[in-house]
Structure 1
Amino acid sequence: MSSSTQTPLASPPSSHPKAATRDPAVAADGSRPSTKDGIRLGVGFTLDAIVCAIPWIGLGSIALPQLLDQIDPGSREAMLGLINGVGSVVALLANIIFGTCSDLTRSRFGRRSPWIISGGILTGLCVFGLIFTRSIPLIILLWCGAQMFYNWMKAPFIATMSDRVPDKFRGTISSFYGAGVVLGQTLGSLIGAMFISRLNSAFGYGALAFGFMGVIVVSIWPREQSNKDVAREPVSLRMMLASFRPPIGRSARNFWYALSGRLLLVSGYTMISTYQLYIVKYHIYKGSKVSAAQLSTMAAGLIAKMAVVTLVASLASALLAGPITDFIKMRKLPVALAGICVAVGVAMPWIFPSEMGMYLFALIAGLGYGVYNAIDQALNVQVLPNPDEAGKDLGILNISNTLSHVIGVALTSWVVVAAHGNYTMIFPVSIAIVLVASFLIMRIKGVR
């Protein structure tokens, strides 16, 4: 599940010549948002983060795995890995392509709004289709479609933060956006657990959330101005292919450290979060003498309680992290420390393979992931090498969210299959990956 994720122009990094002339109260598109406009932007980002994360996590980590467990219990891990892997590759390409396409769009509604609205509607239609099939090929097709159109919506959405949010407020808005992601993801696990025996209802509510969210957010934000008269290079195949070209050179070094750090940190966390239903069923409750229905009920109950713990821990840390880092003017170190906190949390179910171990994971990893979500997007914008290619570069940077799910799901599937269904070894692998991520983030230069 991706994201990523994630304009006209980005906030220039300190090494870029435009940084010297940028008024911190002026957005990259040249506008100077009022306090009221800033609030509307913050509300829009936060609401979208919450409402989209709920079905994305609820469906991807609870409903879809449960559906596969019902269809074919013998190959559930492999099927989940295949569906998420293929879907994530589609999402990876979509993030770059549609981020660039939104850069090039000229309309009286601006260049981001049309993509955000249409992407939400198309995502909802794909999710709605999952109600009517139990065919693995059709599930793969519809989930790939949902991944593609979700990134059709999300790549321009995240680029809007670079376009329209001034440097002065970006840390705070990023913090609220991160808190919204954390809240939505946690509620997604909680609500997904509640709907574990009503999968069609889960897909139906998810479709409604995606379908209407783009329209609602664009309506809340100050209206995006027409850019019909803004000059651009003629669209060509060569230009589109160039959208896949990542930044290179010494000025892009920080960009690559940030991308690699995000890729590995989210991969490590995904190994646990995406497979949490199976971890609870077949690691924590391994050997339980209960029926399959009772096992699902027990797992749903534990996941729901974990979600409450994560909600409190991650929401508090996310809400505090952004304003604090704005005040102390630090981004890099808090993100790296957040990764270490996630690693400690992942170790808990490994050391204590019990319900308590999962609660400790929810608490400690939740604290770290809340801080990470609150600050990482602001750090990413800060390391962009060229503000004039913000949509493209943010699209490339945010493919790490998508690719991380490919890596996380594939690694977990491979480890579990190689261990003949034993989930124990996924914990040390996840820990090692997250710690490497923190090391790479600390390699970023020129950012505290």
Structure 2
Amino acid sequence: MNDKFVRPGIDDRPDYGKALTAEQKEAVSRLAEHPQNTKTIESIDGTSSATRQAARMDETNYSAAIAGRGEVPDPESAMMDMRDPMVASDGSRPSAADMIRLGIGFTLSTIVTGVVWVSLSSILLPQLVDQIAPDQRAAFIGLINSVGSVVALFSNIIFGTFSDLTRSRFGKRTLWICSGGVLCGLCAFGISFTRSLPVILLLWCGMQVFYNWMNAPFCASLSDRVPDKFRGTLSSFMGGGGVLGQTAGSLVGSLLITKINLGFAIGALGFAAIGFIVVAIWPASKSNLDEPRAEMSVKNILKAFIPPVGAGARNFYFALIGRMMMVAGYQMITGYQLYIIKYYTLSDSGLDADGLKIKAAGIVATMSVITMVASLLAAFTAGPISDYIGMRKIPVSLAAVLFAIGAAMPWIFHNAMGMYLFAAIAGFGYGVYNAIDQALNLSILPNPAEAGKDLGILNMANTLSSVIGAALASGLVMATNNYMLIFPACIVVVLLGSVLILCIRGVK
């Protein structure tokens, strides 16, 4: 035969001189420049970006260049970010001291907010409702969780977008973080003065609005200020702080179960102070008055509700729904923890109302200590190990499986020991999950320049999952008058989340 043998991948390579446009060649050439010597770059559409270096490739031409070789990566994706891993998205290069201060601030905030939210939502609010209207407890807790979560869902996206568009001499996030905490605290303080279920519902929704007023910009600050190199470790400390706060919240709530008004007052103070404390600990945010932005208009705000599209969006949705399922399973048990212990674990105890309350508080306190130890052990080791082995997806998925195993324990053992085993096994799994999940989410952001908006959408998992978890748990209880079915339902939901996480591509 006279035909010359064509070596696949060698002789049939495309001519990149023809496949790339002049703008793309110029962008690629910038990769040879040192990040410190590169202030801004010009993207293909002519807009200037002072926050990151990227090779923005035209999707059509790039598709022709790699035709038949798999899915085209989204050039806006965080996975295509060409920034120096020691440089944050805002263009800063934090020192070691800066990173320590950022780590302390992020971790302290997750501890304090975790203590307050769990003590109020899992212990004190259910006990308050049980005292006011015991015949409506399951339905009203389901209602308040569902309505509050819907309110939080929209608030998270709206205030994340507002903070993206904010320009001030204190930076884009600071004012939102400080003011949101104060307003949330005022709503919590108001609950201590009422025994009206409609007013409690209204004030609880106000807490959801203002907490997300504070929390959406706070989460976006992680993307803004922490370099890629340290995100896994810092996410681990945040996860550990969250676990510590949540488990300590159960303990605090159990100690204050007979002093509900004091509990809400302490919670109000915690919310009001934490924003100012964190901002004082962090290195000062620089003024961004000169930073260009899109016009603050209704049209641009409505765009925040448009979910990401394009090649990089697939991973985003798997992470979103997977996280939603995981947190929904967690919420099904923790949201009804007090009622599960009182009316399932202790259903055969023969105790009167006061004795049941005291005994349940003791079990909650013991579970809190067990969960705290297991979760902290997991959280503070999982992040550094994840950074070392370079894996995010697989540890997160396995953590969900471990949580499901823990959820089976009270189903198998209908006693306090079953709850203690749940606290240990599921607590360890949730600690690993919390430690790495945020780093996984940051790695699949469709566009780091819109971190506030996209993290707000990802944080829908925390709010929508509360709706799903509350609806499933309350529906099962009202239909069967039995709390036992919460456990198998939780297992199915969490395992579904584990499978969805495994469907993410391009991340180990």
Name the residue aligned to 2:132.
Answer: 71
Distance 1:242 1:294, change over 3 A: same
Gap regions ≥5 residues in structure 2:
1-49, 56-72
The answer to whether structure 1 residue 436 and structure 2 residue 503 are counterparts is no
Q: More displaced, 326-335 or 286-295?
A: 286-295
Distance 1:20 1:88, change over 3 A: closer
Q: Which of residues 153, 162, 172 in structure 1 aligns to 2:233?
A: 172
Q: Which of residues 383, 393, 411 in structure 2 aligns to 1:322?
A: 383
Name the residue aligned to 1:332.
Answer: 393
Letter in 1 for 2:255: M
Q: Verify the 8 A CA contact 2:90 2:224 in the aligned structure 1.
A: yes
Q: Verify the 8 A CA contact 1:331 1:379 in the aligned structure 2.
A: yes
Name the residue aligned to 2:44.
Answer: none
Aligned-pair CA distance for 1:11? 11
Counterparts of 1:229-240 in structure 2, within 5 Å, are: 229-240=290-301
Q: Distance in 2 between matches of 1:273 and 1:290?
A: 23
Q: Distance in 1 between matches of 2:330 and 2:147?
A: 19
The answer to whether structure 1 residue 271 and structure 2 residue 309 are counterparts is no
Letter in 1 for 2:291: V
Q: In structure 1, the residue corresponding to 2:490 is in which secondary structure? A: helix
Q: More displaced, 238-247 or 383-392?
A: 383-392
Q: Which of residues 222, 232, 246 in structure 1 aligns to 2:283?
A: 222
Distance 1:120 1:11, change over 3 A: farther
Q: Which of residues 267, 277, 300 in structure 2 aligns to 1:206?
A: 267
Letter in 2 for 1:437: G
Q: Distance in 2 between matches of 1:9 and 1:394?
A: 18
Q: More displaced, 18-27 or 52-61?
A: 18-27
Name the residue aligned to 1:311.
Answer: 372
Letter in 1 for 2:148: G
Counterparts of 1:19-418 in structure 2, within 5 Å, are: 19=80, 21-418=82-479
Q: Distance in 2 between matches of 1:229 and 1:10?
A: 17
Q: Distance in 2 between matches of 1:242 and 1:386?
A: 14
Q: Verify the 8 A CA contact 2:53 2:82 in the aligned structure 1.
A: no
Q: Distance in 1 between matches of 2:107 and 2:89?
A: 20
1:314-354 Cα offsets, whole Å, 9 max, x none, are 01100000000000000000000000000000000001111
Q: Verify the 8 A CA contact 1:10 1:162 in the aligned structure 2.
A: no
1:74-111 Cα offsets, whole Å, 9 max, x none, are 11000001111111111000000000000000000110
1:231-285 Cα offsets, whole Å, 9 max, x none, are 1121111111111001023320000000000000000111001100000000000
Identity %: 60
Distance 1:38 1:32, change over 3 A: same
**Greater RCO, CA 8 A, separation 6+:** 1
1:201-226 Cα offsets, whole Å, 9 max, x none, are 10010000000000000000000100
Gap regions ≥5 residues in structure 1:
1-7
Aligned-pair CA distance for 1:56? 0.4
Aligned-pair CA distance for 1:12? 8.8
Name the residue aligned to 1:446.
Answer: 506
Q: Verify the 8 A CA contact 1:11 1:162 in the aligned structure 2.
A: no
Q: Distance in 1 between matches of 2:474 and 2:51?
A: 40
Aligned-pair CA distance for 1:15? 5.2
Q: Distance in 1 between matches of 2:428 and 2:54?
A: 30
Aligned residues: 440
Q: Distance in 2 between matches of 1:211 and 1:267?
A: 28
Q: In structure 1, the residue corresponding to 2:459 is in which secondary structure? A: helix
Cα root mean square deviation, aligned: 1.5
Letter in 1 for 2:474: S
Aligned-pair CA distance for 1:287? 2.6
Letter in 2 for 1:174: S
Q: In structure 1, the residue corresponding to 2:258 is in which secondary structure? A: coil
TM-score (norm 1): 0.96
1:156-199 Cα offsets, whole Å, 9 max, x none, are 00000000000011111100000000000000001101111100
Letter in 2 for 1:358: M
Aligned-pair CA distance for 1:387? 1.6
Larger radius of gyration: 2
Q: Distance in 2 between matches of 1:15 and 1:330?
A: 21
Q: Verify the 8 A CA contact 1:88 1:405 in the aligned structure 2.
A: yes
Q: Verify the 8 A CA contact 2:156 2:216 in the aligned structure 1.
A: yes
Q: Distance in 2 between matches of 1:168 and 1:251?
A: 22
Q: Distance in 2 between matches of 1:394 and 1:90?
A: 17
Q: In structure 1, the residue corresponding to 2:286 is in which secondary structure? A: coil
Letter in 1 for 2:152: A
Q: Distance in 1 between matches of 2:267 and 2:306?
A: 34
Q: In structure 2, the residue corresponding to 1:39 is in which secondary structure? A: helix
Aligned-pair CA distance for 1:410? 1.1
Aligned-pair CA distance for 1:20? 5.1
Q: In structure 2, the residue corresponding to 1:121 is in which secondary structure? A: helix
Distance 1:9 1:396, change over 3 A: farther
Q: In structure 2, the residue corresponding to 1:250 is in which secondary structure? A: coil
